[in-house]
Structure 1
Amino acid sequence: MSVELIAYAAFFLTMALTYAVMCLGLNVQWGQTGLFNVGVAGFVAIGAYVSALLTTPDAPDRFGGFGLPILVGWLGAAIATGLASFLVGWLTIRLRADYLAIATFGVAVTVQLIALNLQSVTGGPFGIGFIPRPFAAFASDPLAFSLLNLGVLVVVVILLYLALEHLLRSPWGRVLRAIREDETAALALGKNATRFRLQAFAIGGAIMGLAGATQAHFVGFIAPDNYVPLLTFQVWAMLIVGGSGNNRGAILGAVLVWGIWAASAGAIAGLFPPDQQARAAALRIVIIGVGLCAILLLRPRGILGEERIVSRHLARLSARQAASTNPTNPNP
């Protein structure tokens, strides 16, 4: 395998894992809590711009350019997006289903319009460039540079996955599922549904902001056109394909759908002449849509699906009951 192919594979997986982080954030909101957020692109954009403003070099023509370390930018992005999500959630969290979807979509459109028109801060339609990239000292060696960047994203995804799995199996995570499945029963047990929903919405938004920050630094450039509603559609497709409510499914779905998206781009470039590329690009959305329909028909819960039991105590009890009712068990 050539060095160029390995470097491309590493870059592909790096981008796929940035989408996996977005899926993990959406999984907290929708998969575990049932919050219908269709404004993913807006929260990702907030994280990307905050981190870019904090870490880019001095820029006399716009606000920002503080030149802070990348990790500080990522942390600032997660905190800022978490606070923005908390504010949005505080205003809209009592809305249900399609009403919440409309509200979050409006937030995403508002964020994009601000990024497009507030040129003194965001660079306007020209975006922000020269965003520092991790391990920039190795940029002259494409293979080492790509592998090191991939390693950083792998560590981020693993740490995030372990933290979210711990939350999922904690009493807090089980309350979220209880509210999603039967809010009346959860209220009868003394759980404040609004407070738990708000917490989940803020945590999910913070994770999306972190995803936007990591993607911005690995690409090195951001612009308002990067955060159109199509991004929200991609992330939703990834989560549904992988398995809503399952953190491993969110990661798997991101890699698979991003692979289809990247492969379809190459196929379109090879099959259509240059003057028809823009029109043919719409076929990529059709391909993802057809694949999504196939998954919903064949595996309605996604490739992996949600675990029915997440409590280790209930899992042990269920195993004992299954063993006691199994006639082939030598020790009933």
Structure 2
Amino acid sequence: MSGLVSYLIFFACIVMILGIVTIGLNLQWGFTGIFNAGVVGFYAIGGYTQAILTAAPAAGHLGNFGLPWIVGIAAAMVVTGLAAWLIGWITIGLRDDYLAITSFGIAVTIQLVTLNWSELTGGPNGLTRIARPLASVFDTPAAFNLWFLVLLVLVTAAVYTALERMLQSPWGRVLRAIREDELAAVSLGKSARNFRLQAFVIGSMLMGLAGALYVSFIGFVSPFDFLPIFTFQVWAMLIVGGSGNNRGALLGALVVWSIWTASGVAVTKFVPPSFAAQGAAVQVILIGLALILVLIYRPRGLLGERAMVSRHADS
């Protein structure tokens, strides 16, 4: 397998993982109007849960239980969901700006915990030897990456299909009603707090799932995988692709990660090492430029929200 093909497979795997995160954020913001500025925190919870439960046992670590891969995936979603429920139960009633500040602060706190609780998380050195599905069968990097891409396509398709069905149900219509006019939804007997909390928890569980898939794919986890810039990237993906449209969320993940990756390669190739730090800012500038262009020419994103038509409209 050529180097270019191998790289494209690796690139596609990352896009799929980011697509799942963006779909989770789309449920929260695009369909419910919840301003979550702590995306990376839930991504980190899922990733570290997977790593702690499935990494091979090692002396001096509280975790590293060596459990099967699928157990780690399920636990990552459950733990992330519980964390989201606790955080959401406390904060979901806050105004958007206060909720954003609170969720961002919680995400930073989570990253600092992973950096400093060395006995559990490995500290700055991270955790290695994390369980990877069928790694003994697909025992070369190229074969494993191709197999994992197939797995990610199936998982992403399952997430997309399940969420689309949920959003086309009465539950999804209530979310839209709350987003558009919360007071009107409440006057019709709907508990805005409960529905917002449900959307917050489910969206965060998808972020945790993506984090678990990421560390399973890489086979390593470090606190430096979960910096605040990640939240900016995911928000850019949602805005560029189109808020309120899951296909737009997936497209946004592809477009923004392509820009980020291509600009990173260009910086590495053309910017002298002594200016690498300054050159890295080019990536953020280009993403910002993409956001500006989209907001000017496609305010609703590349694939804006589609009008919802009830299946009972003709009856």
The one-letter code of the counterpart of 2:238 is: L
Structure 1 pair 219–142 and aligned structure 2 pair: CA distance change class (3 A): closer
In structure 2, the residue matched to 1:200 is 199
The equivalences for 1:62-101 within 5 A come to 62-101=61-100
1:229 aligns with 2:253: no
State the Cα deviation string for residues 280-332 of structure 1 (Å, max 9, x = none): 01110000010011011110100011112153334x58xxxxxxxxxxxxxxx
Is the 8 Å Cα contact of residues 41 and 108 (structure 1) preserved in structure 2? yes
1:178 aligns with 2:209: no
What TM-score, normalized to structure 2?
0.97
CA distance in 1, matches of 2:307, 2:105: 34
CA distance in 2, matches of 1:287, 1:131: 34
1:277 aligns with 2:268: no
State the Cα deviation string for residues 64-98 of structure 1 (Å, max 9, x = none): 11111111111100010001000000000000111
The equivalences for 1:17-96 within 5 A come to 17-96=16-95
Is the 8 Å Cα contact of residues 168 and 310 (structure 1) preserved in structure 2? no
Q: Which moved more, 1:34-43 or 1:131-140?
A: 131-140
The one-letter code of the counterpart of 1:236 is: W
Following superposition, the deviation at residue 212 of structure 1 comes to 0.5
State the Cα deviation string for residues 100-145 of structure 1 (Å, max 9, x = none): 0001001101101111111111111111112122332255434322
State the Cα deviation string for residues 254-293 of structure 1 (Å, max 9, x = none): 0111111111111111111112112201110000010011
Structure 1 pair 15–175 and aligned structure 2 pair: CA distance change class (3 A): same
Following superposition, the deviation at residue 4 of structure 1 comes to 2.1
Is the 8 Å Cα contact of residues 238 and 250 (structure 1) preserved in structure 2? yes
Q: Which moved more, 1:63-72 or 1:199-208?
A: 63-72
CA distance in 1, matches of 2:43, 2:151: 19
Moved over 6 A (4+): none
Is the 8 Å Cα contact of residues 38 and 104 (structure 2) preserved in structure 1? yes
Structure 1 pair 63–197 and aligned structure 2 pair: CA distance change class (3 A): same
Is the 8 Å Cα contact of residues 241 and 253 (structure 2) preserved in structure 1? yes
CA distance in 2, matches of 1:110, 1:141: 37
CA distance in 2, matches of 1:84, 1:152: 26
Task: Provide structure 1 residue ranges, at least 5 long, that are not aligned to the other structure.
Answer: 318-332
The one-letter code of the counterpart of 2:259 is: I
SS in 2 for 1:184: helix
> Percent identity, aligned pairs only?
54
Structure 1 pair 310–30 and aligned structure 2 pair: CA distance change class (3 A): farther
CA distance in 1, matches of 2:46, 2:233: 18
In structure 1, the residue matched to 2:101 is 102
State the Cα deviation string for residues 172-198 of structure 1 (Å, max 9, x = none): 010000000011111111000001001
The one-letter code of the counterpart of 1:17 is: M
CA distance in 2, matches of 1:144, 1:118: 35
1:247 aligns with 2:242: no
In structure 1, the residue matched to 2:215 is 216
- CA RMSD of superposed structures (Å): 1.3
Structure 1 pair 278–138 and aligned structure 2 pair: CA distance change class (3 A): farther
CA distance in 2, matches of 1:65, 1:272: 40
SS in 2 for 1:302: coil
CA distance in 2, matches of 1:41, 1:186: 30
Structure 1 pair 175–31 and aligned structure 2 pair: CA distance change class (3 A): same
Is the 8 Å Cα contact of residues 40 and 230 (structure 2) preserved in structure 1? yes
In structure 2, the residue matched to 1:307 is 306
In structure 1, the residue matched to 2:164 is 165
Larger radius of gyration: 1
SS in 2 for 1:281: helix
Is the 8 Å Cα contact of residues 46 and 77 (structure 2) preserved in structure 1? yes
SS in 2 for 1:29: helix
Structure 1 pair 172–46 and aligned structure 2 pair: CA distance change class (3 A): same
The one-letter code of the counterpart of 1:204 is: G
Q: Which moved more, 1:139-148 or 1:202-211?
A: 139-148
In structure 1, the residue matched to 2:113 is 114
State the Cα deviation string for residues 193-245 of structure 1 (Å, max 9, x = none): 00100111111111100010001111111111111110000000001111111
SS in 2 for 1:238: helix
What TM-score, normalized to structure 1?
0.92
Is the 8 Å Cα contact of residues 41 and 231 (structure 1) preserved in structure 2? yes
SS in 2 for 1:309: coil
Task: Provide structure 2 residue ranges, at least 5 long, that are not aligned to the other structure.
Answer: none
